[in-house]
Amino acid sequence: MDSMLAFLVAARRCEIHDLEQLARSCELVHAVSELVHRLQAERGASNLHLASGGASFGAERAARVEASAAAEAAVRAWLAQPEVCQAEPAQAMPGGARLFTRVAFALHALDGLTGTRAAVDALRCTAGEATQHFSRVIAALLALVFEAADVAAEPAVSRLLVALFNLMQGKELAGQERASGAAAFAAGGAASAGARGDQALLHLIEAQEACFERFEAFCPPAVRSSWEQARARMPMAELERLRRKLIAAGQGAALEPALAEPWFACCSQRLEIMRETEVALADGLRAACAQRIAALRADPDDPQSLLRALAGLPAAPAALGALVGPSAGEAGAGVPNRPAGDEPAGGEPIGPRLTRSIVDVLQAQSLRLQAMSDELAAVRATLDERKLVERAKGVLMRHQGLAEDEAYRLLRQTAMNQGRRLVDVAQAVLAMAELLPRRG
Protein backbone atom coordinates (compact mmCIF):
# COMPACT_ATOMS: atom_id res chain seq x y z
CA MET A 1 0.00 0.00 0.00
CA ASP A 2 2.86 2.37 0.84
CA SER A 3 4.39 1.83 -2.61
CA MET A 4 1.06 2.45 -4.32
CA LEU A 5 0.71 5.78 -2.53
CA ALA A 6 4.29 6.67 -3.42
CA PHE A 7 3.62 6.18 -7.09
CA LEU A 8 0.33 8.10 -6.91
CA VAL A 9 2.20 11.06 -5.45
CA ALA A 10 4.93 10.69 -8.09
CA ALA A 11 2.26 10.62 -10.83
CA ARG A 12 0.73 13.85 -9.54
CA ARG A 13 4.14 15.54 -9.42
CA CYS A 14 4.86 14.43 -12.97
CA GLU A 15 1.52 15.85 -14.10
CA ILE A 16 2.29 19.21 -12.50
CA HIS A 17 5.81 19.19 -13.97
CA ASP A 18 4.43 18.50 -17.46
CA LEU A 19 1.97 21.38 -17.07
CA GLU A 20 4.76 23.71 -16.00
CA GLN A 21 6.74 22.76 -19.10
CA LEU A 22 3.62 23.15 -21.25
CA ALA A 23 3.23 26.65 -19.83
CA ARG A 24 6.76 27.38 -21.06
CA SER A 25 5.95 26.18 -24.56
CA CYS A 26 2.85 28.41 -24.49
CA GLU A 27 5.17 31.36 -23.80
CA LEU A 28 7.00 30.45 -27.00
CA VAL A 29 3.72 30.25 -28.90
CA HIS A 30 2.81 33.71 -27.63
CA ALA A 31 6.10 35.15 -28.91
CA VAL A 32 5.75 33.33 -32.25
CA SER A 33 2.23 34.71 -32.78
CA GLU A 34 3.61 38.24 -32.41
CA LEU A 35 6.40 37.52 -34.88
CA VAL A 36 4.00 36.05 -37.44
CA HIS A 37 1.80 39.14 -37.17
CA ARG A 38 4.76 41.44 -37.77
CA LEU A 39 6.04 39.41 -40.72
CA GLN A 40 2.59 39.48 -42.31
CA ALA A 41 2.59 43.27 -42.16
CA GLU A 42 6.13 43.41 -43.55
CA ARG A 43 5.17 41.11 -46.42
CA GLY A 44 2.26 43.34 -47.45
CA ALA A 45 4.32 46.51 -47.29
CA SER A 46 7.14 44.86 -49.26
CA ASN A 47 4.71 43.86 -51.99
CA LEU A 48 3.38 47.39 -52.35
CA HIS A 49 6.93 48.73 -52.43
CA LEU A 50 8.02 46.25 -55.11
CA ALA A 51 4.88 46.54 -57.23
CA SER A 52 5.29 50.32 -57.35
CA GLY A 53 8.88 49.92 -58.53
CA GLY A 54 10.16 51.37 -55.26
CA ALA A 55 8.20 54.58 -55.69
CA SER A 56 5.96 54.17 -52.66
CA PHE A 57 5.65 52.53 -49.25
CA GLY A 58 9.39 52.73 -48.57
CA ALA A 59 9.06 54.39 -45.16
CA GLU A 60 6.14 52.18 -44.15
CA ARG A 61 8.07 49.07 -45.12
CA ALA A 62 11.13 50.22 -43.13
CA ALA A 63 8.96 50.60 -40.00
CA ARG A 64 7.53 47.13 -40.48
CA VAL A 65 10.98 45.60 -40.97
CA GLU A 66 12.04 47.15 -37.66
CA ALA A 67 8.95 45.74 -35.88
CA SER A 68 9.60 42.28 -37.37
CA ALA A 69 13.22 42.36 -36.26
CA ALA A 70 12.21 43.23 -32.69
CA ALA A 71 9.67 40.38 -32.59
CA GLU A 72 12.25 37.96 -34.01
CA ALA A 73 14.78 39.04 -31.39
CA ALA A 74 12.22 38.27 -28.67
CA VAL A 75 11.68 34.75 -30.02
CA ARG A 76 15.40 34.10 -30.31
CA ALA A 77 16.01 35.44 -26.79
CA TRP A 78 13.38 33.07 -25.40
CA LEU A 79 14.95 30.11 -27.21
CA ALA A 80 18.43 31.06 -26.00
CA GLN A 81 17.50 30.65 -22.33
CA PRO A 82 19.70 27.93 -20.75
CA GLU A 83 16.66 26.20 -19.25
CA VAL A 84 15.26 25.84 -22.78
CA CYS A 85 18.18 24.93 -25.00
CA GLN A 86 20.36 23.21 -22.37
CA ALA A 87 17.69 21.45 -20.32
CA GLU A 88 18.27 17.88 -19.23
CA PRO A 89 15.90 15.35 -20.85
CA ALA A 90 14.01 14.94 -17.57
CA GLN A 91 13.34 18.69 -17.52
CA ALA A 92 12.55 19.10 -21.23
CA MET A 93 9.16 20.10 -22.57
CA PRO A 94 6.68 17.35 -23.45
CA GLY A 95 7.31 16.26 -27.04
CA GLY A 96 10.54 18.21 -26.93
CA ALA A 97 12.23 16.27 -29.74
CA ARG A 98 9.44 17.06 -32.21
CA LEU A 99 8.93 20.61 -30.98
CA PHE A 100 12.63 21.46 -31.07
CA THR A 101 12.95 20.00 -34.57
CA ARG A 102 10.25 22.46 -35.67
CA VAL A 103 12.15 25.21 -33.88
CA ALA A 104 15.28 24.32 -35.86
CA PHE A 105 13.35 24.51 -39.16
CA ALA A 106 11.83 27.85 -38.13
CA LEU A 107 15.23 29.30 -37.24
CA HIS A 108 16.63 28.14 -40.58
CA ALA A 109 13.76 29.90 -42.36
CA LEU A 110 14.28 33.07 -40.30
CA ASP A 111 17.97 33.08 -41.23
CA GLY A 112 16.91 33.52 -44.86
CA LEU A 113 15.07 36.79 -44.17
CA THR A 114 18.27 38.83 -44.48
CA GLY A 115 18.66 37.82 -48.13
CA THR A 116 14.97 38.41 -48.87
CA ARG A 117 15.09 41.90 -47.39
CA ALA A 118 18.23 42.73 -49.34
CA ALA A 119 16.53 41.61 -52.55
CA VAL A 120 13.52 43.81 -51.78
CA ASP A 121 15.78 46.77 -50.96
CA ALA A 122 17.53 46.41 -54.32
CA LEU A 123 14.27 45.66 -56.21
CA ARG A 124 15.87 42.40 -57.33
CA CYS A 125 12.75 40.27 -56.82
CA THR A 126 9.12 40.46 -57.83
CA ALA A 127 6.22 40.92 -55.45
CA GLY A 128 5.23 37.30 -56.07
CA GLU A 129 8.71 36.04 -55.20
CA ALA A 130 8.79 38.12 -52.02
CA THR A 131 5.39 36.75 -51.04
CA GLN A 132 6.65 33.19 -51.47
CA HIS A 133 9.74 33.86 -49.34
CA PHE A 134 7.81 35.46 -46.48
CA SER A 135 5.08 32.83 -46.67
CA ARG A 136 7.63 30.02 -46.30
CA VAL A 137 9.00 31.63 -43.13
CA ILE A 138 5.51 32.11 -41.71
CA ALA A 139 4.58 28.52 -42.61
CA ALA A 140 7.59 27.26 -40.63
CA LEU A 141 6.50 29.32 -37.62
CA LEU A 142 2.90 28.10 -37.88
CA ALA A 143 4.17 24.51 -38.03
CA LEU A 144 5.83 25.17 -34.68
CA VAL A 145 2.48 26.25 -33.21
CA PHE A 146 0.83 23.17 -34.70
CA GLU A 147 3.46 20.94 -33.09
CA ALA A 148 2.91 22.59 -29.72
CA ALA A 149 -0.81 21.79 -30.04
CA ASP A 150 -0.09 18.22 -31.13
CA VAL A 151 2.17 17.38 -28.17
CA ALA A 152 0.11 19.11 -25.47
CA ALA A 153 -1.20 16.54 -23.01
CA GLU A 154 -3.69 18.77 -21.18
CA PRO A 155 -7.07 18.79 -23.01
CA ALA A 156 -8.13 22.33 -22.04
CA VAL A 157 -4.80 23.79 -23.14
CA SER A 158 -4.72 21.58 -26.24
CA ARG A 159 -8.14 22.91 -27.29
CA LEU A 160 -6.91 26.48 -26.91
CA LEU A 161 -3.79 25.70 -28.95
CA VAL A 162 -5.87 24.10 -31.71
CA ALA A 163 -8.16 27.13 -31.72
CA LEU A 164 -5.17 29.49 -31.84
CA PHE A 165 -3.48 27.55 -34.63
CA ASN A 166 -6.59 27.64 -36.81
CA LEU A 167 -7.11 31.33 -36.14
CA MET A 168 -3.47 32.04 -37.02
CA GLN A 169 -3.74 29.87 -40.15
CA GLY A 170 -6.90 31.69 -41.26
CA LYS A 171 -5.27 35.04 -40.53
CA GLU A 172 -2.22 34.00 -42.54
CA LEU A 173 -4.42 33.18 -45.53
CA ALA A 174 -6.03 36.60 -45.11
CA GLY A 175 -2.52 38.08 -45.04
CA GLN A 176 -1.63 36.28 -48.26
CA GLU A 177 -4.80 37.70 -49.79
CA ARG A 178 -3.75 41.20 -48.68
CA ALA A 179 -0.24 40.77 -50.11
CA SER A 180 -1.27 39.34 -53.49
CA GLY A 181 -4.11 41.83 -53.90
CA ALA A 182 -1.85 44.76 -53.03
CA ALA A 183 0.65 43.66 -55.66
CA ALA A 184 -2.09 43.21 -58.27
CA PHE A 185 -3.62 46.62 -57.66
CA ALA A 186 -0.25 48.38 -57.53
CA ALA A 187 0.83 46.80 -60.84
CA GLY A 188 -2.48 47.89 -62.33
CA GLY A 189 -3.31 45.00 -64.61
CA ALA A 190 -4.45 41.45 -65.08
CA ALA A 191 -0.90 40.26 -65.69
CA SER A 192 -0.07 40.86 -62.05
CA ALA A 193 -2.86 38.56 -60.95
CA GLY A 194 -1.39 35.69 -62.93
CA ALA A 195 -3.18 32.98 -64.85
CA ARG A 196 -6.50 32.18 -63.22
CA GLY A 197 -5.82 34.68 -60.45
CA ASP A 198 -9.52 34.70 -59.70
CA GLN A 199 -9.36 31.01 -58.74
CA ALA A 200 -6.37 31.62 -56.46
CA LEU A 201 -8.24 34.41 -54.70
CA LEU A 202 -11.38 32.31 -54.31
CA HIS A 203 -9.27 29.51 -52.85
CA LEU A 204 -7.78 31.90 -50.28
CA ILE A 205 -11.22 33.13 -49.28
CA GLU A 206 -12.65 29.61 -48.99
CA ALA A 207 -9.68 28.31 -47.03
CA GLN A 208 -9.88 31.24 -44.60
CA GLU A 209 -13.48 30.47 -43.77
CA ALA A 210 -12.69 26.78 -43.24
CA CYS A 211 -9.98 27.74 -40.72
CA PHE A 212 -12.29 30.15 -38.91
CA GLU A 213 -14.96 27.43 -38.64
CA ARG A 214 -12.46 25.09 -36.97
CA PHE A 215 -11.30 27.91 -34.71
CA GLU A 216 -14.87 28.58 -33.60
CA ALA A 217 -15.42 24.89 -32.88
CA PHE A 218 -12.52 24.80 -30.40
CA CYS A 219 -12.46 28.26 -28.80
CA PRO A 220 -14.11 28.89 -25.41
CA PRO A 221 -17.59 30.49 -25.42
CA ALA A 222 -16.30 33.84 -24.14
CA VAL A 223 -13.68 34.05 -26.90
CA ARG A 224 -16.23 33.03 -29.52
CA SER A 225 -18.57 35.78 -28.34
CA SER A 226 -15.82 38.40 -28.61
CA TRP A 227 -14.85 36.98 -32.02
CA GLU A 228 -18.40 37.42 -33.31
CA GLN A 229 -18.36 41.01 -32.09
CA ALA A 230 -14.98 41.53 -33.74
CA ARG A 231 -16.20 40.17 -37.08
CA ALA A 232 -19.08 42.64 -36.98
CA ARG A 233 -16.49 45.47 -36.89
CA MET A 234 -14.55 44.20 -39.92
CA PRO A 235 -14.92 46.27 -43.12
CA MET A 236 -16.40 43.36 -45.08
CA ALA A 237 -18.57 45.43 -47.44
CA GLU A 238 -15.56 47.37 -48.72
CA LEU A 239 -13.47 44.21 -48.84
CA GLU A 240 -16.06 42.41 -50.95
CA ARG A 241 -16.25 45.35 -53.36
CA LEU A 242 -12.49 45.28 -53.90
CA ARG A 243 -12.43 41.49 -54.09
CA ARG A 244 -14.84 41.61 -57.02
CA LYS A 245 -12.43 43.88 -58.87
CA LEU A 246 -9.58 41.43 -58.28
CA ILE A 247 -11.68 38.50 -59.46
CA ALA A 248 -12.55 40.44 -62.62
CA ALA A 249 -8.84 41.17 -63.11
CA GLY A 250 -8.11 37.46 -62.96
CA GLN A 251 -10.44 37.12 -65.94
CA GLY A 252 -8.73 39.88 -67.94
CA ALA A 253 -10.05 43.20 -66.63
CA ALA A 254 -7.74 46.09 -65.79
CA LEU A 255 -7.08 47.32 -62.24
CA GLU A 256 -6.74 50.84 -60.90
CA PRO A 257 -3.34 51.33 -59.21
CA ALA A 258 -4.89 54.01 -57.00
CA LEU A 259 -6.86 51.27 -55.24
CA ALA A 260 -3.71 49.54 -53.95
CA GLU A 261 -3.52 51.55 -50.75
CA PRO A 262 -7.29 51.42 -49.98
CA TRP A 263 -7.12 47.65 -50.46
CA PHE A 264 -4.10 47.38 -48.17
CA ALA A 265 -5.73 49.59 -45.54
CA CYS A 266 -9.00 47.63 -45.66
CA CYS A 267 -7.26 44.25 -45.33
CA SER A 268 -4.95 45.61 -42.61
CA GLN A 269 -7.92 46.81 -40.56
CA ARG A 270 -9.44 43.33 -40.79
CA LEU A 271 -6.16 41.66 -39.79
CA GLU A 272 -5.68 43.99 -36.81
CA ILE A 273 -9.16 43.09 -35.57
CA MET A 274 -8.30 39.39 -35.92
CA ARG A 275 -5.12 40.06 -33.98
CA GLU A 276 -7.16 41.18 -30.96
CA THR A 277 -8.69 37.71 -30.65
CA GLU A 278 -5.33 36.08 -31.35
CA VAL A 279 -3.74 37.99 -28.46
CA ALA A 280 -6.64 37.08 -26.15
CA LEU A 281 -6.21 33.39 -26.98
CA ALA A 282 -2.43 33.51 -26.55
CA ASP A 283 -2.85 35.20 -23.16
CA GLY A 284 -5.49 32.64 -22.25
CA LEU A 285 -3.02 29.82 -22.80
CA ARG A 286 -0.80 30.95 -19.97
CA ALA A 287 -3.78 31.57 -17.70
CA ALA A 288 -5.18 28.10 -18.45
CA CYS A 289 -1.88 26.43 -17.51
CA ALA A 290 -1.62 28.44 -14.28
CA GLN A 291 -5.23 27.64 -13.32
CA ARG A 292 -4.76 23.92 -14.00
CA ILE A 293 -1.59 23.76 -11.90
CA ALA A 294 -3.30 25.60 -9.05
CA ALA A 295 -6.30 23.27 -9.26
CA LEU A 296 -4.09 20.17 -9.05
CA ARG A 297 -2.26 21.53 -6.03
CA ALA A 298 -5.53 22.39 -4.28
CA ASP A 299 -7.25 19.11 -5.21
CA PRO A 300 -8.83 17.51 -2.10
CA ASP A 301 -7.93 14.12 -3.60
CA ASP A 302 -4.25 15.05 -3.76
CA PRO A 303 -2.23 12.01 -2.58
CA GLN A 304 0.12 14.41 -0.80
CA SER A 305 -2.56 14.94 1.87
CA LEU A 306 -2.40 11.23 2.67
CA LEU A 307 1.32 11.54 3.24
CA ARG A 308 0.60 13.86 6.14
CA ALA A 309 -1.68 11.21 7.62
CA LEU A 310 1.10 8.66 7.19
CA ALA A 311 3.61 10.88 8.97
CA GLY A 312 2.59 9.52 12.37
CA LEU A 313 3.14 5.90 11.29
CA PRO A 314 6.43 4.00 11.48
CA ALA A 315 9.14 5.08 9.02
CA ALA A 316 8.06 4.63 5.41
CA PRO A 317 9.84 2.13 3.18
CA ALA A 318 12.77 3.37 1.09
CA ALA A 319 10.63 3.38 -2.05
CA LEU A 320 8.21 5.87 -0.49
CA GLY A 321 10.88 8.19 0.84
CA ALA A 322 12.88 8.14 -2.38
CA LEU A 323 9.91 8.94 -4.59
CA VAL A 324 8.15 11.64 -2.58
CA GLY A 325 10.70 13.01 -0.12
CA PRO A 326 9.67 14.86 3.04
CA SER A 327 6.74 17.23 2.88
CA ALA A 328 7.16 20.84 3.93
CA GLY A 329 5.30 20.15 7.17
CA GLU A 330 7.47 17.15 8.01
CA ALA A 331 10.68 19.03 7.34
CA GLY A 332 9.89 22.04 9.51
CA ALA A 333 7.54 20.82 12.22
CA GLY A 334 7.05 17.89 14.53
CA VAL A 335 5.39 14.68 13.42
CA PRO A 336 1.61 14.90 13.93
CA ASN A 337 -0.23 12.40 16.05
CA ARG A 338 -1.64 9.30 14.42
CA PRO A 339 -5.34 9.72 13.47
CA ALA A 340 -7.63 7.78 15.78
CA GLY A 341 -8.51 4.38 14.40
CA ASP A 342 -5.50 4.18 12.08
CA GLU A 343 -3.11 2.38 14.43
CA PRO A 344 -1.19 -0.46 12.77
CA ALA A 345 -2.69 -3.82 13.66
CA GLY A 346 -2.03 -7.40 12.69
CA GLY A 347 0.98 -6.47 10.58
CA GLU A 348 -1.08 -4.09 8.42
CA PRO A 349 1.09 -0.94 8.04
CA ILE A 350 -1.92 1.33 7.34
CA GLY A 351 -5.27 1.32 9.15
CA PRO A 352 -8.53 0.46 7.34
CA ARG A 353 -9.85 4.03 7.14
CA LEU A 354 -6.63 5.34 5.56
CA THR A 355 -6.57 2.33 3.25
CA ARG A 356 -10.03 3.25 1.96
CA SER A 357 -8.87 6.85 1.46
CA ILE A 358 -5.92 5.73 -0.65
CA VAL A 359 -8.14 3.50 -2.79
CA ASP A 360 -10.59 6.40 -3.27
CA VAL A 361 -7.74 8.63 -4.41
CA LEU A 362 -6.48 5.94 -6.78
CA GLN A 363 -9.93 5.57 -8.35
CA ALA A 364 -10.47 9.34 -8.60
CA GLN A 365 -7.09 9.91 -10.22
CA SER A 366 -7.59 7.02 -12.67
CA LEU A 367 -11.02 8.31 -13.71
CA ARG A 368 -9.73 11.85 -14.13
CA LEU A 369 -6.78 10.76 -16.27
CA GLN A 370 -9.04 8.57 -18.42
CA ALA A 371 -11.44 11.47 -18.95
CA MET A 372 -8.48 13.66 -19.94
CA SER A 373 -7.28 10.98 -22.36
CA ASP A 374 -10.72 10.71 -23.99
CA GLU A 375 -11.05 14.47 -24.40
CA LEU A 376 -7.51 14.75 -25.72
CA ALA A 377 -8.21 12.05 -28.32
CA ALA A 378 -11.18 14.07 -29.59
CA VAL A 379 -9.05 17.20 -29.87
CA ARG A 380 -6.21 15.42 -31.64
CA ALA A 381 -8.55 13.90 -34.22
CA THR A 382 -8.72 17.33 -35.85
CA LEU A 383 -4.93 17.62 -35.88
CA ASP A 384 -4.60 14.13 -37.36
CA GLU A 385 -7.03 15.03 -40.14
CA ARG A 386 -4.92 18.04 -41.03
CA LYS A 387 -1.81 15.86 -41.19
CA LEU A 388 -3.54 13.51 -43.64
CA VAL A 389 -4.64 16.40 -45.86
CA GLU A 390 -1.12 17.88 -45.84
CA ARG A 391 0.40 14.52 -46.79
CA ALA A 392 -2.15 14.05 -49.60
CA LYS A 393 -1.34 17.53 -50.91
CA GLY A 394 2.33 16.58 -50.97
CA VAL A 395 1.56 13.42 -52.98
CA LEU A 396 -0.39 15.41 -55.59
CA MET A 397 2.32 18.05 -55.77
CA ARG A 398 5.01 15.42 -56.40
CA HIS A 399 3.08 13.19 -58.78
CA GLN A 400 0.97 15.72 -60.66
CA GLY A 401 3.26 18.74 -60.62
CA LEU A 402 0.64 20.90 -58.90
CA ALA A 403 1.20 23.96 -56.77
CA GLU A 404 0.11 23.68 -53.14
CA ASP A 405 -3.11 25.67 -53.59
CA GLU A 406 -3.95 23.70 -56.74
CA ALA A 407 -3.48 20.40 -54.90
CA TYR A 408 -5.74 21.57 -52.09
CA ARG A 409 -8.42 22.78 -54.53
CA LEU A 410 -8.32 19.40 -56.30
CA LEU A 411 -8.84 17.57 -53.01
CA ARG A 412 -11.74 19.82 -52.00
CA GLN A 413 -13.39 19.67 -55.43
CA THR A 414 -13.13 15.88 -55.48
CA ALA A 415 -14.67 15.70 -52.00
CA MET A 416 -17.55 17.94 -53.08
CA ASN A 417 -18.16 16.03 -56.33
CA GLN A 418 -18.23 12.68 -54.53
CA GLY A 419 -20.11 13.88 -51.45
CA ARG A 420 -17.28 12.72 -49.18
CA ARG A 421 -15.30 14.29 -46.37
CA LEU A 422 -12.03 15.97 -47.30
CA VAL A 423 -10.08 13.67 -44.97
CA ASP A 424 -11.60 10.58 -46.63
CA VAL A 425 -10.44 11.78 -50.05
CA ALA A 426 -6.98 12.49 -48.58
CA GLN A 427 -6.79 8.95 -47.20
CA ALA A 428 -7.75 7.54 -50.62
CA VAL A 429 -4.99 9.56 -52.30
CA LEU A 430 -2.44 8.31 -49.78
CA ALA A 431 -3.59 4.71 -50.30
CA MET A 432 -3.02 5.11 -54.06
CA ALA A 433 0.24 7.04 -53.75
CA GLU A 434 2.46 4.18 -54.95
CA LEU A 435 0.30 3.65 -58.04
CA LEU A 436 0.18 7.28 -59.18
CA PRO A 437 2.51 8.08 -62.11
CA ARG A 438 5.24 10.59 -61.40
CA ARG A 439 5.31 13.73 -63.52
CA GLY A 440 8.21 13.34 -65.89
Stated as kind and residue range, the H or E segment containing 411 is helix 404-418
Mean pLDDT of 317-334: 41
Q: Which of 179-183, 339-343, 359-363, 406-410 has the lowest mean pLDDT?
A: 339-343
Ranges 30-44, 76-90, 154-168, 305-319, most confident? 30-44
pLDDT at 223 over 80: yes
Q: Is the pTM of this model over 0.75?
A: no
Contacts for 430 with CB less than 8 Å, ≥ 6 apart: 388, 391, 392, 395
Do residues 342 and 353 touch, judged by C-beta distance below 8 A? yes
pLDDT for res 155: 78
3-state SS class at 345: strand
pLDDT for res 195: 42
Q: What phi and psi values does residue 343 have, to the nearest 5 degrees?
A: -65, 140
Q: Alpha helices, DSSP H only, in 251-312?
A: 260-298, 303-310
Band of pLDDT at residue 355, cut at 50, 70 and 90: low
Q: Where in the chain is the domain with CATH 1.10.10.10?
A: 369-440
Give the residue among 175, 172, 176, 152 at the shortest CA–CA distance from 162.
Answer: 152
User: What residues does 348 pair with on adjacent strands?
Assistant: 345
CA atoms within 13 A on the CB side of 187: 21
Q: Would you list the DSSP string of 88-156? A: -GGGSPTTHHHHHHHHHHHHHHHHTHHHHHHHHHTT-S-HHHHHHHHHHHHHHHHHHHHHHHHH---HH
pLDDT at 341 over 50: no
pLDDT for res 17: 78
Do residues 194 and 200 touch, judged by C-beta distance below 8 A? yes
The residue ranking higher by pLDDT, 173 or 390, is: 173
CB-based contacts of 216-219 (< 8 A; 24+ apart in sequence)? 218/159, 218/160, 218/162, 218/163, 218/166, 218/379, 218/382, 219/160, 219/163, 219/167, 219/281
Question: Quick one: DSSP state of residue 348?
Answer: B
CB-based contacts of 240-248 (< 8 A; 24+ apart in sequence)? 242/181, 242/266, 243/181, 243/201, 243/205, 246/181, 246/184, 246/185, 246/193, 246/197, 246/198, 246/201, 247/198, 247/201, 247/202, 248/198
d(CA 93, CA 133) in angstroms, rounded, equals: 30
Average pLDDT, the chain: 78
399-433: per-residue pLDDT in tens?
A: 777 877 778 778 878 887 787 888 888 888 888 77
Contacts for 285 with CB less than 8 Å, ≥ 6 apart: 26, 29, 30, 157, 160, 161, 164
pLDDT for res 418: 81
d(CA 313, CA 2) in angstroms, rounded, equals: 11
Mean pLDDT of 271-292: 89
Give the residue among 404, 423, 387, 422 at the shortest CA–CA distance from 149.
Answer: 387
Burial class for 314, CB neighbours closer than 10 Å (0-12, 13-18, 19+): exposed
Do residues 90 and 145 touch, judged by C-beta distance below 8 A? no
Do residues 356 and 136 touch, judged by C-beta distance below 8 A? no
pLDDT for res 65: 96
Please report, as a single letter, which amino acid is at residue 328.
A
Q: What phi and psi values does residue 54 have, to the nearest 5 degrees?
A: 85, 5
pLDDT for res 317: 44
Band of pLDDT at residue 313, cut at 50, 70 and 90: very low
Handedness of CA 74, 75, 76, 82 (dihedral sign): positive
Mean pLDDT of 160-188: 88
Band of pLDDT at residue 188, cut at 50, 70 and 90: confident
pLDDT for res 365: 57
Q: What phi and psi values does residue 349 have, to the nearest 5 degrees?
A: -70, -20
101-153: per-residue pLDDT in tens?
A: 888 999 999 999 999 999 999 999 988 899 889 999 999 999 888 888 776 77
User: What residues does 345 pair with on adjacent strands?
Assistant: 348
pLDDT for res 440: 52
Class of domain 369-440: mainly alpha
d(CA 177, CA 197) in angstroms, rounded, equals: 11
Mean pLDDT of 207-216: 90
255-278: per-residue pLDDT in tens?
A: 888 898 899 999 999 999 999 999
pLDDT for res 199: 76
Handedness of CA 37, 41, 44, 47 (dihedral sign): negative
